[in-house]
Amino acid sequence: MERYSRQILFDPIGEKGQEALSQKHVLIIGAGALGTGNAEILARAGVGQITIADRDYVEESNLQRQQLYTEQHALNHVPKAIAAKNRLQEINSSVEIDAHIMDVTPEDMEQLLNGVDLIIDATDNFDIRFMINDVAEKHRIPWIYGGCVSSYGLSYTIIPGKTPCLNCLLQTIPLGGATCDTVGVIAPAVHMVVAYQTAEALKVLTDNHDSLRHKLVYFDLWKNEQSSIDVSQMKQDDCASCGQHPTYPYLSYHNQTKTTVLCGRDTVQIRPPQKVNRNLDELVHFLNRKGGKVEHNPFLVSYSYNDNRMVFFKDGRVLIHGISDIKEAKKLYHQILG
């Protein structure tokens, strides 16, 4: 226990809490700025198992704030989930790290939840957050919402059956339309959100529920502002996600996004209606006959065509870089693949 001696000396955790941490399983959705920060702190804290799911790969623009990644990861287009797993295992080999390269769907969420004690939101869009919210309410699993953009951030801990859910809050609290694509983001804002999320995670995982923050906290580091909102009265009895007769609307097929403009760059993701197991070797052979530049590794194929670049994953997803218009992206997609 010498490794965790300073954490054990913190009385609210102690030896009992440290033992509890070693038995817990955390699911982190997203391996970007928030995901890598949360994963590293929880791995260093000695959480027994961490599952990471992410759809993207490392790019140079990530290195400013996504702390587990290196220039070599960006150069080789390594999927974030794989790069994160390898680095975390170097940090703490006693922690079991499961990595999944996927764009999480409701079906995926159901499969990933086996034995999970806590879900951490490290995503960049509300489609997935609403999905997390519904599946967490359905299975009564606590989850911690987090978001940041520019110098601003916020976080909120949701305990199913006790606190308002995200669907309740968004009927009351406007969150604005700014994204990292339009206004950027600075690393200190990321680290502040991570600090709030991981502090709450340690409370949940060590059964210190009385110490949980029951308010939505938000801040702007550049403007030296910080505040919180008491949201306890915002729980809606008729909420479709956590009310008296929940229907979990965001687990429905019709509420799943098939085409998405990704945050942070001119990129459209196209996901087929059903998952496929794409043969990357055959794809490389197919694309080489079309001309253009083809690069590949065991996880993906990158194809540069005129001013655009397409990145193909095994699960059928395609990222089309250099385009922010969904119609144009679909046109190029069908032009290349038929």
264: pLDDT strictly greater than 90: no
Q: Please, what is the average pLDDT of the chain?
A: 91
Question: pLDDT (tens digit, 9 = 90+) per residue, 77-96?
Answer: 999 999 999 999 999 999 99
Pick 88 or 267 by higher pLDDT: 88
Smallest CA-to-CA distance from 148 within 265, 266, 66, 209 is with 66
- Cα–Cα distance between 214 and 177 in angstroms, integer? 25
Q: Which range is least confidently modeled, 144-153, 179-188, 189-198, 295-304? A: 179-188
Tokens representing residue 160 in the block:
């199913």
**Reported confidence tier of residue 26, pLDDT bands at 50, 70, 90:** very high
**Reported confidence tier of residue 25, pLDDT bands at 50, 70, 90:** very high
- Cα–Cα distance between 164 and 239 in angstroms, integer? 9
Return the percentage of the chain with pLDDT > 90, whole number.
72
**Reported confidence tier of residue 174, pLDDT bands at 50, 70, 90:** very low
64: pLDDT strictly greater than 90: yes
Note the pLDDT of residue 263. 65
- Cα–Cα distance between 132 and 244 in angstroms, integer? 19
Structural contact between residues 13 and 206, judged by C-beta atoms closer than 8 angstroms: yes
Average pLDDT score over residue span 242-259? 81
**Reported confidence tier of residue 178, pLDDT bands at 50, 70, 90:** low
Question: pLDDT (tens digit, 9 = 90+) per residue, 28-47?
Answer: 999 999 999 999 999 999 99
**Reported confidence tier of residue 159, pLDDT bands at 50, 70, 90:** very high
Question: pLDDT (tens digit, 9 = 90+) per residue, 182-241?
Answer: 578 999 999 999 999 999 999 999 999 999 999 999 999 999 999 999 999 999 999 999
In 10 A of CB 224, how many CB atoms?
8
SS3 track for the chain:
CHHHHHHHCCCCCHHHHHHHHHCCEEEEECCCHHHHHHHHHHHHHCCCEEEEEECCECCHHHHHCCCCCCHHHHHCCCEHHHHHHHHHHHHCCCCEEEEEECCCCHHHHHHHCCCCCEEEECCCCHHHHHHHHHHHHHHCCCEEEEEEEECEEEEEEECCCCCCCHHHHHCCCCCCCCCHHHHCECHHHHHHHHHHHHHHHHHHHCCCHHHCCCEEEEEECCCCEEEEEECHHHCCCCCCCCCCCCCCHHHCHHHCCCEEECCCCCEEEECCCCCCCCCHHHHHHHHHCCCCEEEEECCEEEEEECCEEEEEECCCCEEEECCCCHHHHHHHHHHHHC
Note the pLDDT of residue 274. 64
Note the pLDDT of residue 173. 47
- Identify the structural domains of the chain with CATH numbers, from first to last: 2-254 (3.40.50.720), 258-337 (3.30.310)
Which residues have a Cβ under 8 Å from the Cβ of 70 and sit 6 or more positions away? 63
245 CA to centre of own chain = 28
